Structure 1
C-alpha cells in the first residue's frame, strides 16, 4: 500500500538487477542492448560487468546451450494479457507466449533450483512454491483463457536457472489441480485485498520487509524464541 500510495519506492537490489539482466536477454538483442545502456550500474568504466554480475552471462549461456530450454522459450515475448477475474480487471505480462503450441513460459532465476525454502504455511518447499510462482502461473493461465475464450488452459512451463557456479537449470511444469487450488485461495482473499486497497481496512505489517524495517516502532519486549517465529 505504501508503494501504491507513492510513499515508498523499492530500492534496486543485486538480485533484482540480476533477474532483469537475464530477462532483457530473453526479450531479444535490441531490448538487451537498450537495457545495458540504461543500466550503467552493472558495468565498470571499461564496459565490463562487475564481478558480482558476471555469473548472469554464464546463466544465459547455460540456457542458450540447452535445446529444450530454447525450444520452450520460443514464442512471442513479453505478451500482455488482460481479463476480468474475481470481479476486478487483471493484467499480466507473459515472458514467452506460444498459443499455437498450446503453452506459455516464464523464465525464473533463483539462488538454487533444488534447495529447500522455509514457508510459514507450507513448511520446507521448493522455490516455485515459496515465491508464489504457482499462483502467478495459474493467474496467467486463467486470464489468458478468458481473454481468448478458449475452453482450457494453455500448458504453463517455468524455465528455471540457478545462480550457482556452474548454474543448474530445469524446465518445470505445474499440475492443473494445484493451480486450481491456488486460484480458489486467491479468490477467497480478494475481498480483504480490495478492502485494504480502497481504504476499508488497514493493511497488516509483516515487520520483515525493507519498508517495515524502515518504519518499525517497537511496542514491547519479545522473548528470544519469538525471533524465529
Structure 2
C-alpha cells in the first residue's frame, strides 16, 4: 500500500503499518488499541487536539489551513462580524503562531519540507511516520508540539518528569530518526528536535534537543515490547484491558467487589 496524505490515517494503513501513536496505544491498553483498529472505537477530538492541529496547519502552509477549516468548521465562527475567524475559545492559537513566526530561531528550525511521509521496516515489521519538518540539508528533523506549559511537571512512575517524557515524545523522536535513517539509507541519524510552544496567554517557546543515550534506550524498549504487540494485533493473543482508559470505562462490566483500600492501587 502506497501512503499518501489522503490515506495516511486510514484503517487500511493502520492495519498494514505500525506507527508511534499505534505503538503507544497498544502499550497503554491493548483492548483500546484493537477497538480503534477495528473501527469500533475512536477517541473524541478535544480542544487541545484542535489547537495543536491549527497551529501546525498554519505553520505548514501549502493549503493545510484550508483543509483544517473544511475538516473542523466547529472551531470557526459562522455568523456575524467574526464569521470565518477562530472562535474565542481558540483565539490564543493565533498568538501561538505569531510567537513562533516572530522568533528567528524558531522560524529557522521550521524551515524544510513539511509533512513528509516515510516508511521502513523496523524490528521485523513495517512502520509509517509523518515528519512535520524534514531538512536533511541542515541535518535535522523537527516535530512541532503544543503544550499547556513548557515547564509544567508531571508525575510518571513516582517521578517528576517534563511534558516531553509524560507524552512519550522521546519515544516518538527515537523512532522517527531511526525510520528516517532506514528510509534514506543513511549511516548516521539526523538530529531530532522539537519546536514547542505553550498555550498560555503569553506563549512560551523553546527548541528542544535529545541525547543519543535516551534515543537508544527508547529504541530498546520498542524492540522489547513489539513482539507482544504484533501477536495481539495479528490475532494470535487476546488483548489485555487496562480498566483505566476511556474505552475500558465505556465497556466495563462489574464482576465483583473491591475493598476501598484497594481503590488507589487498582
TM-score, normalised via structure 2 length: 0.82
* Matched position secondary structure for 1:93: strand
Shift of 1:220: 3.0
State the match for 2:122 in structure 1: 85
State the match for 1:16 in structure 2: 49
* Matched position secondary structure for 1:142: helix
User: Superposition RMSD on alpha carbons, in Å?
Assistant: 1.4
Counterpart of 2:99 (choices 62, 75, 80) is 62
State the match for 2:28 in structure 1: none
CA deviation vs aligned residue, 1:13-49 (integer Å, no higher than 9, x gap): 1111111111111210521123123321001222221
Shift of 1:196: 0.8
219-228 vs 25-34, which moves further? 219-228
**Given the alignment of the two structures, is residue 37 of structure 1 paired with residue 74 of structure 2, yes or no?**
no
C-alpha distance in 1, partners of 2:59/2:166?
Answer: 24
Shift of 1:4: 0.4
C-alpha distance in 2, partners of 1:175/1:148?
Answer: 22
Q: Which runs of 5+ in 2 are unaligned?
A: 1-33
Counterpart of 2:85 (choices 31, 36, 48) is 48
C-alpha distance in 1, partners of 2:259/2:88?
Answer: 41
State the match for 1:104 in structure 2: 141
1:159-174 matched pairs, under 5 angstroms: 159-174=195-210
* Matched position secondary structure for 1:114: coil
How many corresponding residue pairs?
A: 228
CA deviation vs aligned residue, 1:94-131 (integer Å, no higher than 9, x gap): 000000100010000111111111123x6221111111
C-alpha distance in 1, partners of 2:166/2:175?
Answer: 16
**Structure ranking higher on relative contact order (CA contacts 8 Å, 6+ apart):** 2
**Given the alignment of the two structures, is residue 157 of structure 1 paired with residue 193 of structure 2, yes or no?**
yes
State the match for 1:95 in structure 2: 132
C-alpha distance in 2, partners of 1:53/1:228?
Answer: 35
C-alpha distance in 2, partners of 1:144/1:217?
Answer: 43
* Matched position secondary structure for 2:118: strand
